[in-house]
């Protein structure tokens, strides 16, 4: 269950890191182990939000089973017939549980058994119940440590060094399960399992175990209610189709009498901070009216200050148009739009006005949807709070792609948030170091984001590419040691929140990516003058960097002389050109895509030649643009007869970004770590044709670099 700032339940997202998921951990005690016949005698549950178990807000309810509790069962859970004789039956008990829990992720230990028993209880009441999306902690244990002698709750808790209290009590077991689940998250991360969908995918691989459970009558956890997103609907803002008008309305409604003067109504609007008031009818059996700020402004223009002494009934609109509180929000939006209204009354099933809804309320809802990306990073004070950004970012990307927004725009948003995450991780790490007694930064410094994040072209397969420039200090010296600790903590925080460690080690925690100004100047100069392939690749990343925190001017002290030196180095430019022109063949006979394991690497054979060529030309012609399209547009006037090639590459770059992004969104839903390899069969015939066109244009990169200047 993911709760937002107003404690409203939100849907669980496949791309959510397990660390950031909020969930309900639930357990039941029953009259026996027959899922079809036995009954529930206790429901216990606890909430977990951002990795914290909320033990001060439990759910604990005894349930009257309607049948005698066998002595053997009572001997285990110590619940006797006399204890449940006056308890509520399952129906009202579970309704109370659902009202407490909301809708979202359900976690339990052997939860497939509990779900099966609950489904049977609902079937007896002839009520429908759809199991929520769920995870079995016992399955996660099997993934992490399949060699444990047994996977009982006691054994696993002992293995993890946890103490169980109140065993075989539903609430006690739920709390123990929550603690175990929290302790397993770092172990899962070591196996490359970070997100909910990745955990579900790993669980689905336990085919023998799950098959045995299903045979015993348990719920099939491999087919747990994982939400699939219809790509046709992916671009639609789903909030109006999931929420009721009553969720947004202002209540109680504010009324004035019809014979009140306008100044009274205006004072009420100002004091309550509202833009309208409802007007009681002057006579019995007549309609309620509404007076809005717009009505008053129009009247004020024609009547001036004398308006304030006039009766409200002279200016209100009657009848008030209202909508039933249980209608979906999209109905209210449609009614407002078709009638040109900005305000609606909300009535109950008896027709009584119980609330008010304004266009401002709907706008506030949309602004809350954007809050996490707009202000969430700035407001985050812990890594756990910061971990909410990644699932929101993937959700935003999905919506934008569904609305056919240019992939370059989506990449720019993702890159901006990646830089924001890095900056905030740096701030949190600084605060932790001060709190731990290591003090503040010994000298001014700046944190850099390199590569695609710096260019503004990151997609959802982002990883950490960062570096630190500090004002002065020797390698291994006091200053360097402080920044090493900072860089390591930043790397750890980013990994926790969904930005994995860089496989190539391009992180400020490593000494080659953490130096003072003079050290960096010498380092970059050696890259340029030696002109080795490895040096050239490192410098490529550096030329795409942006400063995101600290003394931002330190970057200019290093990059400006580096750009100048690289632009004057013929050998360096030649090596860059050779690398850019080394393009693998992506299609074969009859234009068929060349695949390996069913996929093709569109970064190596698509994006890389374009952004490498654009970078080279930017260095050669002194462009300070960072994005690939901006660089190509900047240098176009220098390209002569090959300028059209640059135009084609700008479009090809867009098409390939779009293709990779769509594949990444598909993979996220399937629990596959997003990357840059795509399965062409995932796309339509038109999309495949566009991709072939783009790859044909990328094959012309050598023509773009073969200009008369002699660079190649």
Reply yes or no on whether the pLDDT at 230 is more than 80: no
% of the chain residues with pLDDT over 90:
55
Instruction: State the average pLDDT for the chain.
Output: 87
Q: Let me know if residue 313 belongs to a domain.
A: yes
Q: What is the pLDDT of residue 9?
A: 35
Q: What is the pLDDT of residue 364?
A: 62
Mean pLDDT over residues 282-307, rounded?
Answer: 87
Q: What is the pLDDT of residue 140?
A: 95
The CATH number of the domain where 348 resides is what?
3.10.580.10
Question: CB-based contacts of 490: which residues, under 8 Å, 6+ apart?
Answer: 422, 425, 426, 429, 447, 466, 508, 509
Looking at 65-79, 301-315, 419-433, which range is the least confident one? 301-315
Reply yes or no on whether the pLDDT at 432 is more than 90: yes
Q: What is the pLDDT of residue 195?
A: 86
Mean pLDDT over residues 506-531, rounded?
Answer: 90
Reply yes or no on whether the pLDDT at 2 is more than 50: no
Q: Let me know if residue 618 belongs to a domain.
A: yes
Tens of pLDDT along 166-180?
A: 888 999 999 999 999
Q: Which of 338, 365, 392 is the last residue of a domain?
A: 365
Q: Let me know if residue 19 belongs to a domain.
A: yes
Q: Two tokens at 686?
A: 């038109």
Reply yes or no on whether the pLDDT at 552 is more than 70: yes
Mean pLDDT over residues 634-644, rounded?
Answer: 91
Q: What is the pLDDT of residue 231?
A: 38
Mean pLDDT over residues 146-168, rounded?
Answer: 89
Question: CB-based contacts of 76: which residues, under 8 Å, 6+ apart?
Answer: 168
Q: Is 591 left (phi over 0), alpha (psi -120 to 50) or beta?
A: left
Q: Are residues 403 and 504 in the same domain?
A: yes
Mean pLDDT over residues 587-608, rounded?
Answer: 91
Q: Are residues 592 and 690 in the same domain?
A: yes
Of 78, 134, 86, which is closest to residue 111 (Cα–Cα)?
Answer: 134
Q: Let me know if residue 137 belongs to a domain.
A: yes
Reply yes or no on whether the pLDDT at 157 is more than 90: yes
Q: Pairing relation of β-strands 134-136 and 289-292? A: unpaired
Q: Which of 542, 560, 578 is the last residue of a domain?
A: 560
Q: Are residues 39 and 165 in the same domain?
A: yes
Q: Are residues 245 and 334 in the same domain?
A: yes
Omega cis (within 30) before 246? no
Tell me the pLDDT band of 242, cut-offs 50, 70 and 90: low
Q: How far apart are alpha carbons 480 and 505 in whole angstroms?
A: 17
Q: Let me know if residue 235 belongs to a domain.
A: no
Q: Let me know if residue 75 belongs to a domain.
A: yes
Q: How far apart are alpha carbons 4 and 497 in whole angstroms?
A: 18
E-strand ranges in 220-329 read 255-256, 276-279, 289-292, 322-324
Tell me the pLDDT band of 7, cut-offs 50, 70 and 90: very low
- Name the residue with tokens 């013929």: 570
Tell me the pLDDT band of 241, cut-offs 50, 70 and 90: low
Q: What is the pLDDT of residue 104?
A: 77
Q: Let me know if residue 236 belongs to a domain.
A: no
Q: What is the pLDDT of residue 4?
A: 34
Q: How far apart are alpha carbons 357 and 335 in whole angstroms?
A: 12
Please give the residue that has the higher pLDDT: either 191 or 485: 485
Tens of pLDDT along 358-382?
A: 887 776 655 444 555 556 787 888 8
Task: Report whether 515 contacts 525 (CB < 8 A).
Answer: no
Q: Interhelix angle for 359-369 vs 329-339, to 10°?
A: 130
| Domains held by the chain: number | 4
Q: Are residues 306 and 258 in the same domain?
A: yes
Q: Are residues 203 and 295 in the same domain?
A: no
Q: Are residues 511 and 611 in the same domain?
A: no
Domain range for 38: 2-223
Q: Let me know if residue 230 belongs to a domain.
A: no
Q: What is the pLDDT of residue 331?
A: 78
């Amino acid at each position: 269950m993911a709760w937002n700032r107003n404690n409203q339940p939100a849907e669980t997202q496949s791309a959510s890191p397990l660390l950031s998921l909020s969930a309900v951990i639930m357990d039941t005690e029953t009259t026996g182990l027959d899922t079809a016949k036995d009954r529930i005698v206790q429901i216990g549950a606890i909430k977990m939000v951002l990795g914290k178990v909320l033990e001060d807000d439990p759910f604990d309810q005894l349930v009257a089973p309607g049948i005698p509790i066998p002595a053997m069962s009572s001997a285990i859970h110590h619940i006797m017939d006399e204890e449940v004789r006056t308890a509520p039956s399952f129906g009202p008990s579970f309704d109370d549980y659902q009202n407490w829990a909301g809708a979202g992720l359900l976690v339990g230990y052997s939860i497939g058994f509990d779900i099966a028993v609950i489904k049977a209880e609902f079937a007896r009441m002839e009520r429908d119940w759809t199991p929520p999306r769920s995870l079995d902690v016992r399955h996660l244990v099997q993934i992490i440590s399949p060699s444990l002698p047994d996977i009982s709750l006691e054994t696993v808790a002992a293995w993890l060094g946890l103490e169980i209290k109140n065993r075989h009590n539903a609430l006690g077991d739920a709390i123990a399960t929550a603690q175990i689940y929290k302790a397993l998250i770092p172990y899962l991360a070591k196996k490359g399992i970070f997100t909910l969908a990745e955990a579900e995918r790993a669980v689905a691989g336990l085919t023998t175990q799950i098959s045995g459970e299903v045979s015993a009558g348990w719920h099939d956890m491999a087919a747990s209610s994982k939400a699939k997103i219809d790509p046709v609907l992916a671009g639609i803002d789903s909030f109006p189709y999931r929420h009721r008008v009553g969720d947004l309305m202002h209540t109680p409604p504010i009324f004035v009498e019809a014979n009140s003067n306008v100044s009274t109504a205006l004072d009420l609007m100002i004091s309550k901070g509202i833009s309208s008031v409802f007007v009681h009818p002057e006579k019995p059996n007549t309609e309620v009216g509404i007076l809005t700020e717009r009505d008053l402004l129009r009247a004020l223009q024609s009547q001036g200050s004398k308006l304030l002494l006039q009766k409200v009934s002279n200016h209100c609109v009657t009848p008030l148009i209202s909508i039933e509180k249980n209608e979906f929000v999209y109905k209210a939006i449609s009614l407002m739009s078709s009638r040109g209204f900005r305000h609606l009354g909300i009535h109950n099933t008896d027709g009584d006005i119980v609330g008010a809804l304004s266009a401002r309320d709907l706008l506030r809802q949309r602004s809350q949807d954007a809050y996490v990306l707009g202000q969430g990073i700035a407001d985050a004070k812990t890594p756990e709070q910061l971990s909410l950004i990644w699932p929101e970012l993937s959700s935003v990307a999905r919506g934008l792609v569904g609305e056919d927004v240019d992939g370059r725009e989506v990449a720019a948003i993702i890159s901006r948030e990646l830089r924001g995450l890095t900056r905030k991780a740096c701030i949190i790490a600084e605060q932790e170091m001060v709190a731990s007694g290591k003090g503040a930064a010994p000298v001014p410094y700046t944190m850099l984001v390199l590569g695609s994040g710096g260019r503004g072209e990151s997609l959802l397969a982002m990883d950490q590419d960062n570096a630190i420039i500090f004002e002065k200090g020797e390698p291994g010296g006091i200053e360097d040691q402080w920044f090493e600790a900072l860089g390591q903590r930043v790397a750890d925080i980013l990994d926790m929140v969904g930005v994995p460690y860089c496989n190539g080690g391009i992180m400020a925690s490593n000494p080659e990516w953490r130096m003072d100004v003079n050290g960096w100047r010498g380092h970059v100069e050696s890259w340029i003058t030696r002109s080795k392939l490895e040096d050239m690749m490192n410098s490529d990343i550096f030329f795409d960097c942006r400063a995101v925190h600290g003394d931002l001017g330190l970057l200019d002290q290093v990059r400006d002389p580096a750009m100048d030196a690289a632009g004057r180095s013929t050998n360096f430019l030649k090596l860059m050109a050779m690398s850019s022109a080394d393009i693998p063949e992506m299609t074969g006979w009859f234009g068929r895509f060349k695949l390996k394991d069913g996929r093709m690497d569109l970064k190596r054979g698509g994006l890389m030649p374009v952004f490498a060529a654009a970078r080279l030309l930017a260095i050669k012609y002194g462009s300070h643009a960072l994005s690939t399209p901006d660089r190509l547009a900047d240098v176009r006037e220098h390209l002569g007869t090959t300028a059209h090639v640059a135009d084609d590459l700008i479009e090809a770059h867009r098409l390939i970004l779009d293709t990779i992004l769509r594949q990444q969104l598909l993979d996220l839903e399937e629990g596959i770590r997003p990357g840059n390899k795509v399965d062409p069969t995932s796309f339509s015939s038109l999309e495949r044709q566009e991709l072939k066109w783009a790859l044909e244009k990328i094959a012309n990169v050598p023509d773009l670099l073969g200009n008369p200047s002699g660079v190649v």
